[in-house]
Amino acid sequence: MTVLLNGQGLKATGDSMSIAPHEDYSFVNGWEYRVKMAASGTPFLKSNEWITGRLKCDAGTFDRLQMNYDLFQEVLVIQQTIDGRPSVIAMNPLFVHDFWLSGFHFRNIHDSVINSSTGYYELLYDGQVQILRKWRKKIIDEKVINGSSFRSEQRMFLMYQNKLIPIRGRGSIANCFPDHVKEINRYCSTHGFHPRTAGKESWISLGLFIDQLP
C-alpha cells in the first residue's frame, strides 16, 4: 500500500488521520505494516498503545499523529484512516527526517562514510557534535523459563564531521578529538562520567563541554 502525504492531504482528525479527497498530494512513502510478534512483551518503544507524536518528513511537519516505533523491525508506524478504512502504515525511512513521541526525539541519521541512512537514533544532544542513542529490541529464547521474549538494547554514538562513531568507552570519546584528549579524559574523571552508566543529563553536559573546547 502506498501512502500519500503532503501539507494539504494529511489532516489530523481526533485520534486518527484521514486523507482528504480531491487534493493535490505529493507522492510519498510507506507500506502496510505487519506485526512480527513471535515473543512475549512488546516490540515497540514502550507499549502496544498508540502515542500522540510529531513527524518531520519530506512532505512537511505533522502534529498530533497516532504513532509508535517498532524497535524489533526498526520502523516508524502511523495509524491512519484511508478511504474510511483504518490502516497502520510503516513509513519508508528514506522520507523520514525526525519524529517525536513520549518525550523522545528520534532522527534518521545519514553516515557520509557509507553514504546511506543508518536508521533512527534518539537525539540526546545537538551541537557541533551530536550525541545519539540507538534503541533495538531482539528476541531472546528462554524456553526453560517463559519462552521467547523481547529484550531492549541500547548503544551510544557520536556524530562528528558527518561520521557516525560508536562509543565503547571513555577512550573512544577522547579519540574523536585528538587535540583535546587530555581535557576530555580529565572531564570524564572529574565528573565520574562512564559511557555505560551515564544518564541523559550527563551526556548533555558532556556535549556542552565538548562544544566549548577551542
Entry pTM: 0.79
- In the predicted model, is pLDDT for residue 12 greater than 60? no
- Distance between CA atoms of 111 and 168, rounded to whole angstroms? 18
Residue range 67-88, pLDDT digits in tens: 999 998 899 999 877 677 777 8
Domain coordinates in residue numbering, the chain: 10-166, 167-214
Mean pLDDT of 58-71: 90
pLDDT band (50, 70, 90) for residue 28: very low
* Overall average pLDDT of the 29-58 stretch: 82
The more confident residue out of 60 and 31 is 60
| Res 40 pLDDT > 80 | no
Confidence label for 38 from pLDDT (cuts 50, 70 and 90): low
Q: Which three cell numbers stand for residue 4?
A: 500519500
- The answer to whether 29 and 3 are in contact (CB under 8 A) is yes
93-151 confidence digits (pLDDT tens): 888 999 999 999 999 987 655 555 679 999 999 999 999 999 998 877 755 455 677 87
Give which of 206, 208, 201, 122 is closest to 170, Cα–Cα: 206
Residue where the block lists cell 503532503: 6
Grid cell listed for 190: 572529574
